[in-house]
Amino acid sequence: MKTYISLWPAQAPELPFPRSVAILGSTGSIGVSALSVIAQHPDLFCVAALAGGRNAQRLAEQAAHFRPGVLAVLDEAVARELKALLPAGYAPEILFGQEAYEAVAAMPGTDLVLSAIVGAAGFLPTLAAAKAGKRIALANKESLVLGGRLIRAACRASGAVVLPVDSEHNALFQALCGHNGDADLARLILTASGGPFRGKDAAFLAAVTPAQALNHPNWSMGAKISIDSATLMNKGLEVIEACHLYGLPVSRVEVLVHPQSLVHSLAEYVDGSQLAHLGLPDMRIPIAHSLCYPRRVALDMPRLDLAQAGDLTFEAPDEALFPCLGLAKAAFAASHSHPVALNAANEVAVDLFLQGRIGFPDIPRLIEAALARHTALKENCSAAELIAADTETRRQTLAAAATNA
């Protein structure tokens, strides 16, 4: 019996312990949580490489503790700063630049790559890991939004396996294991907290500040994903990710708002039954599942007490008030490259909003305009062509924002 839907099997080949791990985005919230899991189980993992963007101080602290042989940062100045912060007697190889991230992702000798870079910057390193045949714990949904077709093809060719780290997709992964693939599945249901503005009206949204939008009611996340949660774009990107992960059309992936964030997603089967995954809103749970799969490990954290949890409620998302969800679904249905424009415009718009240069409702407005301008690329386009489309969309979106300022 099949135990998977997508090209990436739930019954992935067993990896022996200890596992050699490379973490892309180690200084972000996912990377920090992953290292917390690894620190609880030092006998199961060897940290081979850490890539940490521009946060030299945090990366130096992580490196001093885990002693990987390779470190990577975004530019040479940060590399120099990092080197000066490392303890005496510890001299890892320090790489810098976009190519460094791809080199770390494909580095010989590593068993598992945690792809946790924020945004479109994670696409090429994730693709490099797929081409190198790695097991990929994927926390960078934008990799699939930009180039799901290319990553799927790379996995087919190399034998690479993708295990989803996003709480919703990890929940679906677990709900799908042990079932007869697409023949038994009716639909997937992603849950969304609704963000900090659930139930608000258009007048309220027109005046919200970045500080308000960053104040997520349930999850502790980075700035970009917090804004995406507030607009529901995060759920839109997750719909696209689910379509790529599990090989489904967008019509079979639905979204329900679940404010308590205890049910992380559901799989509905043809007999009408629904399998749900429940747990506290803590990313260490799906991270540990992906790093250790198929083994489960104990985590030093609180447990879900359903008797104390109170009511669990569900409602349909308000796509009129939060149009980003509908824009994402429309982009996926339009062509394989429209999601590139969607994501690029969203990243620009979120950054502008965080800088106070545009209002909250301007985010979907800029995205909708970018989708209207985009001309679909040919089906067999390359990664370079996708990156070029991403770059051009960013340029056009910045220009549109300046014109309408």
Residues whose CB is less than 8 angstroms from the CB of residue 376 and which lie 6 or more positions away in sequence, other chains included: 334, 335, 336, 337, 338
What is the Cα–Cα distance from 68 to 305, expressed in whole angstroms? 38
Which amino acid is it at 372?
A: A
What six digits make up the tokens of 112?
A: 């598992």
Q: What is the pLDDT along the chain (405 residues), one digit of tens a residue?
A: 233 333 344 456 678 999 999 999 999 999 999 999 999 999 999 999 999 989 999 999 999 999 999 999 999 999 999 999 999 999 999 999 989 999 999 999 999 999 999 888 999 999 999 999 999 999 999 999 999 999 999 988 898 999 999 999 999 999 988 777 778 999 999 999 998 999 999 999 999 999 999 987 766 677 888 899 999 999 999 999 999 998 889 999 999 999 999 999 999 999 999 999 999 999 999 999 999 998 999 999 999 999 999 999 999 999 999 999 999 999 999 999 999 999 999 999 999 999 999 999 999 999 999 999 999 999 899 999 999 999 999 999 999 999 875
Alpha carbon distances (Å) from 43 to 17, 24, 32, 37, 131: 8, 21, 18, 12, 28
Q: How many CB atoms lie within 10 A of CB 308?
A: 6
Among residues 176, 142, 379, 204, which one has the least CA distance to residue 265?
A: 176
| 340 touches 390 (CB < 8 A) | yes
- Taking each helix axis from N to C end, the angle separating 233-246 and 142-158, rounded to the nearest 10 degrees, works out to 10
Q: What are the residue ranges spanned by the domains of the chain?
A: 19-165
Host H or E run for residue 175: helix 167-176
SS3 270: coil
The fold of the 19-165 domain, in CATH, is Rossmann fold (3.40.50)
**Residues 222, 231: Cα–Cα separation, whole Å:** 15
141, 166 Cβ separation under 8 angstroms: yes
Decide if 252 contacts 333 (C-beta within 8 A): no
Sign of the torsion angle spanned by Cα atoms 259, 261, 263, 268: positive
The residue type at 184: D
- Separation of first and last alpha carbons in the chain: 57
Alpha helices by DSSP H, 177-322? 181-184, 202-206, 210-214, 223-231, 233-246, 284-292, 306-309
Q: What is the Cα–Cα distance from 113 to 110, expressed in whole angstroms?
A: 7
